[in-house]
Amino acid sequence: MSSLLQELEQLHREAAAALGQASTTPETEAWYAEYLGRKGKMTSVLRGLGQLPAGERPPIGKTANDIKVALELALQERQSALAESDMARALAAEGIDVTMPGRRPQIGSLHPTNQAMREIVGILVQMGFQVYDSPEVETDDFNFGLLNFPPDHPAREMQDTFFTTDKDVILRTHTSPGQIHAMRQYAPEPIRVILPGKCYRKEDVTARAEMMFYQVEGLAIGRTITFSDLKGTLLNFANQMYGAGRQIRFRKSFFPFTEPSVEVDVDCVLCGGKGCRLCKYTGWLEILGAGMVHPVVLKNGGYDPAVFSGFAFGMGIERQAMNKYGVDDIRLFYANDVRFLARV
């Protein structure tokens, strides 16, 4: 028997024994480098193959290849066994009992803005209002002009506007332009509609102001509607939204599309009017703006102001949620903080 063949068989036995002693994956990698790598023992032995007579080379070369294949297969089996053993030890260390029930996943819920919007819409629908959908992208005329905002009126500066490349096309700054759409669709019939949706204003984001927010607009038009109807509607809304026994107060204000115009407050839901941080120690929470529809707006909507009258009101959805849930920073509604969303 050729001495080279004896070296190969001896190397086979030695390598197999060494592989059996490897107890970790890094040890098997070191084993490969020692025996089968480019600078390993197998390579060193095979360097003597070229010095053999031509007739002996083929059978010894075949034997060397068979030994290499056998060792590589043994390596794969050893590494697979070690991997399974490592996984078993890791699972045991974590103390997982597969017979125990799994952990319940955290279940999502409606966003606080959606919760407040659904509650507000539900209250007003029960009072006889119909939901009317109006566009978020408006013309300057619908957003301002038809609502009695003259071109250079300072009230336009109260609502910094997002303009498109077409200066006449804007993102609506309030839901009020929906009043004109609804009036022109239903005039001269009496209407009672609410218009929920997004609004956009180019404002500095603070604890009380956002660039995108939600509003609900309310509009009622008929032949004998008075300010008393507006007052009764808003008092009913406040009692359903904030709890029975609520009181409201009206403060004179100005909106181009209503006359007279008022700001409406409700007694603080936390302190009952005694004064606290939520109401800034005034005892009152501002909830909406309202008023009787201006005759010019009625006319622009297709109604004869000598025959018809109406009232309108508008409220911020986030403002209602902040008041009801005691939230003091509007930015929390859009911060994607799960802790806040779960709390509310």
Domains and CATH numbers, the chain: 3-94 (no CATH), 113-343 (3.30.930.10)
pLDDT band at 50 (very low <50, low <70, confident <90, very high): low
pLDDT confidence of residue 156: 67
Q: Tell me the residue type at 206.
A: T
Tens-digit pLDDT profile for residues 88-118:
877 777 666 677 787 787 777 788 888 899 9
Find out whether 258 and 293 touch, Cβ atoms under 8 Å.
yes
CA 217 to chain centre: 24
Q: Measure the CA–CA gap between 230 and 311, rounded to whole angstroms.
A: 6
Find out whether 158 and 111 touch, Cβ atoms under 8 Å.
no
Tens-digit pLDDT profile for residues 176-188:
999 999 999 999 9
For the ranges 66-80, 112-126, 272-286, the lowest mean pLDDT is seen at 272-286
Q: Which residues contact 119 (CB under 8 A, 6 or more apart)?
A: 241
Tokens 């218009």 belong to which residue? Answer: 195
For the ranges 194-198, 201-205, 225-229, the lowest mean pLDDT is seen at 201-205
Of 121 and 56, more confident: 121
Q: Tell me the residue type at 247.
A: Q
Rounded to two decimals, what is the model's pTM?
A: 0.66
Tens-digit pLDDT profile for residues 148-169:
988 777 666 666 888 888 878 9
pLDDT band at 1 (very low <50, low <70, confident <90, very high): very low
Other residues' Cβ atoms within 10 Å of the Cβ of residue 170: 20
pLDDT confidence of residue 89: 79
Q: What is the mean pLDDT of the chain?
A: 86
Tokens 């607009």 belong to which residue? Answer: 217
Other residues' Cβ atoms within 10 Å of the Cβ of residue 279: 22
Q: What percent of the chain has pLDDT over 90?
A: 39
